[in-house]
Structure 1
Amino acid sequence: MYQVKQETLSFTTRDGVRLDADVYRPQSNESFPILLMRQPYGKKIASTVVYAHPIWYASHGYIVVIQDVRGRGTSQGEFNLFAKEIDDGFDTINWLSHLPGSTGNVGMYGFSYQGMTQLFAAATQPEVLKTICPAMVAYDLYHDWGYENGAFCLQTNLGWAIQLAAETARLKGDINAFHKLYKASRNLPLSDPIIAYPDLMKELASDSFYHDWINHPYFDDYWSQLSPKTLIDKLDLPMLHIGGWFDPYLRGTINLYNAMKTKSIYPQNLIIGPWGHLPWGSKIGSKNYTKAAISFVDQYQIDWFDHFLKGKEIDHLFSQPISLFEMESNQWKYSKKWETIQEKSYYIFSQGLANVKDDDGQLVDNIPDDNVNDIIVHDPWRPVPSLGGHASIPSGSFDRSQLDERFDIITYPSDKLTEDLSISGTPFVRIYCTADTESFDICAILSEVKPDGKVYNFSQGYIRINSDKLPITIALQPTCIKIKKDSCLRLSLSGACFPAYALNTGTGKTPNEEQLLDAKTITIKVWSNPEQISEIILPIN
C-alpha cells in the first residue's frame, strides 16, 4: 500500500473550456496506470456514497483522477445533460495519457451519471482506454431511465432534476432559488395543476433537462441521440457491469451487458447485488440481507484494473464472471452464464372479490375455466401509493401487507409452496384487462407472503396503456430470489403507484399536459379464461 498525495490539475478542451480535476497519486517514483471518474456532483464527493475514497484506490498503485464535468463543480462551461460528454471524455483521456508519472494506460469507473460518461468516452475509441466499469446506467435512455413501458418515472426524475437545478443555482450564487429547490428536494412538489410538470421547474430551472424529458413522452430522435445504444458499434473493450436488484436503472445495466456479451471479443463481467441506487450495503427497505450483501465492488475493481491495466493474472475474474446475489438465501451465486433453465406459469383465478378478500383471488397451476371478472376502481384523489421496489424513494423490499388491504388493489396469492422456489431472471405478467377511459395504468407487484403473514415485494413492473391491444404484457424488474417452502407468492395489481410514476388522468394526454383537475375515476376490469389467459411467467433455475 502506498502513501498518497493530492493535487488539483486542469486542462483546456478543444473548444477552450477549462475542466478541473482532483488527482490522487502514490508517493513514489514509479509510473502508475490512471483511473478516471467524470462526474457532475462536485469532485470532492467522488461517488463515496457507494465507492471507497479515491485515496484507497490510489494506495493500491493508481493515479486516480476525479474530474468535474463541464459546468459543474469548479469546471468552466455550461452544463447540458450528457451533451458534451463524448468530446470532453476523449479530450480528458488524451490529456491524461501524457500525465507525468503515468504508464499511459487508463481505466474508468463510476455509477449513474459517472457510468454514462464512461460509455460516451469509450465510444471515441481512445487507444489508451483499456477498460471501463459502468455501474447502474441506461443503455436506452428513454426505456431504461426516463420512462418505463411508456410511464414517466416521476419521483426519480423530478428528484434528480431538482438536485441538479439546486447545484446550478448554488454555482450562480442564487440564494433564493437554491433554498427553494433545496426545500422542494425534501418534499417534492406533487400538487401543481400539471402534477408531473411543477411550476417550480419552470420558474427556477428553465435550463433543466427535465423540460426535454417531460416534453418528449415518446421515443424519438432526442432520446436516440443521447442513448449509449446508438454507440454500440463503437464500443468494444473489457467491461465490468454493476447493478442492483432494486436500482431503477437495472434494465439498462442488463441490456448493456447483453448487448456487449453478444458482440464483444473482450470479457464482460456482471455483478448484481441486493442494492438500490445507493448505498450498496446489507440493508435496504425493511430487509437485512446479512453481511454477505455488503459491497465487494471496490476490491473487485482493483483486481479488474490490476489485470487489464497492470497485466496481472487473476483467475477468479474469468472462471466465474457472473456474480448474482440470491435474496432470502442471502448467498452469492457465481456462474459463467446467466440463463433461465425453465419457466413456470401461475394463472389468475378469482370469484370477483380479489380486491376484498385475501383468499378470493388465487394463483393456480392450471388454467381456470370459471373465472369471474375482478374490478379495480382507481380514484385519483387517493391513488395507490408507491412503497419500495425499484422506482420509489426509498427503494427496496417492505412489508406491504397493510397496503394490500386497500380495495383498489387486487391480490392473487398462491398456495403455500411445498418446496423452495428459485427465481432468477425477468418475470412477466400477461393479463387481459380493459378500462372505461382512453388511457389507464397497471402496476404489477410480486411479493413473498411469509408464514407469519408479512408480505415483502421483490419485483414489480408498470405500464401505461393507450390502446385496446390484448393481452397486455409487463416485463417486471429482473430479480434473483429463493422463495422458501411454506411461503406463498402474491401478485398485486393496481391502477397507480404514485409518486413513483406520474398519475394517469385517464384523458389520454401525456404527462406534460395532464391537468389534475381533469383526472378521472378509472374502472379497470381484469379477467382470465381458457381462451384469454392471464398469468405470471417466472424464470426458474
Structure 2
Amino acid sequence: MTHLAPMIHLSHALLPVRPPETVSMRTRDGIRLDADLYRPDAAGTWPVLLLRTACGRRVCETSHYAHPRWYAARGYVVVVQDVRGRGTSDGRFRPFEAEREDGADAVAWAASLPGSSGSVGMYGRGYAGMAQWLAMAEAPSALRAIAPAFAGWDVYSDWAYEGGAFRLADAMGWALAAAAESARRVEDGTGHRLLSDAVRALPVDDEIPSRPQALRDYARYSHYDDWLTNPLPGPAWDALSPRAMLPGMAADVAVLQLGGWYDPRLAGILDAHEALAARGRAPVRLVVGPWGAVGPAALPDGAPDGLPDLDGLQLPWFDRVLKGEGSMADRGGPVRLHDVESGRWHDLPSVSPAAAALHLASDGLANRQGGRLAVEPPDLEALDVVVHDPRCPVPSVGGHAMPSSAGRCDRAAVDRRHDVAVYTSLPLEEPLILAGRVALDLWVEADAPSFDVSAVLSVVRPDGQVLALTQGHARVEPGDPTRPLTIGMRAACATLAPGSALRLSLAGSCFPAYPVNPGTGAEPGETRRVDALPITLLIHSGPDRPSRLRLAAGMA
C-alpha cells in the first residue's frame, strides 16, 4: 500500500529555501550523528528526503545528484547525514555493520524534525544505497520510499567478490579511500597522504599485488583484510547484506532502483528487483542506464545524448509516492532498460532470463580469432588451447569491473592477443535485440589446481569496433565442477544492426579488476608476484561437451 502524507503542498512553483542548519541526533547506543538540514522557507509541512552518506555530508553526493537546495525548493525537507565514523559523526566506521539500526533511528528522528510531514524517503548511491536497504530491513514506520542507486543487494557478491574472484581494483580503491578518510579524522597527515596517493594510482604492482604495502601499514584504518581473507559466502557476509534480511524487510515501502550497465553491482540490483517484485506489496521499479558506479560511463563516438539524470528519474517517483502527485500508471514499465546501441529505452514487465543459445565451435584456433558462435550445435568436437602467462596478464578494458575506466571501450586490440580465445558469429542479416540476462556454460579444464576464466560478450560493428556488452568472471578452486562451468555474465540491452556480429572473448585473467590467479590455490593476500605460474586452459566444444552462450534475444 502507498501511504500519502497529510497537509502536502501540491504546487510546482519553486519555494524559497532556508539557510542550512547543522543538527545532531543520538543513536540507540548513544553515538552522535551529525547532519545538515535544508527546508523550504514557507509555512506547512513537507515530506523528508534523507541521504545517509559515507562520503562527507558537505559534498552531498553532488557528483551524481542535485544539491539538496534543489529538492528543498521543490517541497521537501532534506537531511544529509554523515554515517557513523564519517565526516563529523562520532563512532568507528565499519562498513555496513551499524547501518540497519542507525538508519532506522535516523528515519524516526528525521520524521520528527520541524517542517516534516512525518513521511520519509531515502536516496543515495553506492554505500548510501545500501544504507537505504539496511534501514528498510529494520522496518521504521515513517519510511515510505527508497531510491537506491548503484547499490547492489549482497555485500559478498556485489562488493567484495565476483564468481569467487576478489574484486581487486574495485575493493582496493574503495578501501584505500575509506582508510584515507579514517586517517584524516585522527589527523594522521602522513597516512592520509600515502593512502590518498594510492587511490589515484592503485599499487597493484607491489610484491603482493592484492595486499600492497600501504594497506598493510595502515590496516588499522581499513576493513580490507577482513574482506580479503573471507573468500566464501556465509554468516559473516549475511549479517551485512540486505539479501539475507528480505524475510523481515518492510513490505509497504515503494522502491525505485537505479542501475548502470557498467556498475559493478548491477547483478545484485537485478536480483533485488526480482525478489521485491515477487512480493507484490508495494510499487517496485527498476531503471538501468549507461552509467557506471562513478557516473556516466565512457561511451563510444556517436553515442546518443540526452540521457536522463538521476534527479529527473527519482523526483517524480518521490512526488508520486510521498505527495500523491501524478499516478503510478504514467511512470513507464516496471523495468526500463537503456539500449546501448540504439539509444532507445525499452519498457518491459521484467528482466528476461537467459534462454536462447549460441554454440561455441572452432577449428582449434580460437586464440587466432578462429572460433565461431553458431545457432546450430557443431557436429565435431573441438579443443582450443589458451596459455595464460602471469608476467603479461590480459588487461581489464572497459566494462564494469574497473570503476575508474568503466564503459564501452574498443577492445579489438585485446582480442588480437594470442592468450584470448575469440568466438564470433556471422554478420547479422536482420536487427537483433538483446534484452535480459546472459550466461555462459563452458566446458573447460586447466593444467593447474586453480584457474580463472574471464568472459566478455561484445558487438563487432561493421566498422571494426569491438564494444563490450557484458562480461563475467569465475575463479575455479581445486575440486570445483567445470563440466560445464556456468559463468553469470550479468545482463545486457542492445539492438544489433545488420552487418554487426556478436563476439565472445575468453581469457585466463582480467587484471587488475581481479587478482592474477597463481595456479596453486593460494589465497590472493598470500600470493606474491613471483609465485604465479603459467596456466594452460583447454576449452572444449562439440556434441559431447557443448559449450554455449545463453541470452535473452529476439528479432527487432
Q: Is the CA contact (8 Å cut-off) linking 2:434 and 2:492 kept in structure 1?
A: yes
Report the CA distance between 1:319 and its aligned residue. Answer: 5.3
Partner secondary structure for residue 159 of structure 1: helix
Matched, 1:60 2:74: yes
Q: Is the CA contact (8 Å cut-off) linking 1:285 and 1:394 kept in structure 2?
A: no
Matched, 1:462 2:464: no
Partner of 2:56: 42
Letter of the aligned partner of 2:210 in structure 1? A
Partner of 1:512: 525
Matched, 1:405 2:416: yes
Q: Is the CA contact (8 Å cut-off) linking 2:64 and 2:310 kept in structure 1?
A: no
Partner of 2:254: 238
| Aligned partner (choices 395, 399, 404) of residue 385 of structure 1 | 395
CA distance in 2, matches of 1:264, 1:45: 36
CA distance in 1, matches of 2:238, 2:301: 37
Partner of 1:366: 376
Matched, 1:345 2:363: no
Report the CA distance between 1:362 and its aligned residue. Answer: 1.2
Q: Is the CA contact (8 Å cut-off) linking 1:71 and 1:77 kept in structure 2?
A: yes
| 5+ long unaligned stretches in structure 1 | none
Matched, 1:452 2:463: yes
| Aligned partner (choices 132, 135, 138) of residue 121 of structure 1 | 135
Calculate percent identity across the aligned residue pairs. Answer: 40
Q: Which whole-Å deviations, capped at 9, do the CAs of 1:359-379 have from their partners, x for residues lacking one? A: x21112221123431111000
Q: Which whole-Å deviations, capped at 9, do the CAs of 1:115-146 have from their partners, x for residues lacking one? A: 01111111111111111111112212112221
| Aligned partner (choices 265, 276, 299) of residue 281 of structure 2 | 265
Letter of the aligned partner of 1:533 in structure 2? P
Partner of 1:539: 552
| Aligned partner (choices 197, 203, 216) of residue 217 of structure 2 | 203
CA RMSD of aligned residues (A): 1.5
Greater CA deviation, 200-209 or 56-65? 200-209
CA gap 1:368/1:319 in 2 versus in 1, 3 angstroms: closer
Q: Is the CA contact (8 Å cut-off) linking 1:417 and 1:486 kept in structure 2?
A: yes
Matched, 1:87 2:98: no
Partner of 1:300: 313
Q: Is the CA contact (8 Å cut-off) linking 2:260 and 2:292 kept in structure 1?
A: yes
Letter of the aligned partner of 1:186 in structure 2? R
Partner of 1:104: 118
Partner secondary structure for residue 292 of structure 2: coil
Partner secondary structure for residue 121 of structure 2: strand
- 1:217-296 maps to which residues of 2 (within 5 A)? 217-235=231-249, 236=251, 237-280=253-296, 284-286=298-300, 289-292=303-306, 294-296=307-309
Report the CA distance between 1:186 and its aligned residue. Answer: 1.4
Q: Is the CA contact (8 Å cut-off) linking 1:448 and 1:455 kept in structure 2?
A: yes
Greater CA deviation, 183-192 or 305-314? 305-314
CA distance in 1, matches of 2:267, 2:328: 29
Partner of 2:500: 487
Q: Which whole-Å deviations, capped at 9, do the CAs of 1:413-448 have from their partners, x for residues lacking one? A: 111101111111111111111100000000011111
CA distance in 2, matches of 1:444, 1:319: 33
| Aligned partner (choices 424, 427, 432) of residue 443 of structure 2 | 432
CA distance in 2, matches of 1:36, 1:3: 20
Q: Which whole-Å deviations, capped at 9, do the CAs of 1:61-120 have from their partners, x for residues lacking one? A: 000000001111011111111111112112212211211111111110111100011111
Q: Is the CA contact (8 Å cut-off) linking 1:444 and 1:462 kept in structure 2?
A: yes
CA gap 1:317/1:268 in 2 versus in 1, 3 angstroms: farther
| 5+ long unaligned stretches in structure 2 | 1-13
Partner secondary structure for residue 299 of structure 1: helix
CA distance in 1, matches of 2:538, 2:287: 40
Q: How many residues align?
A: 535
TM-score by structure 1 length?
0.96
CA distance in 2, matches of 1:509, 1:263: 42
Matched, 1:333 2:349: no
Report the CA distance between 1:194 and its aligned residue. Answer: 2.4
Partner secondary structure for residue 399 of structure 2: coil
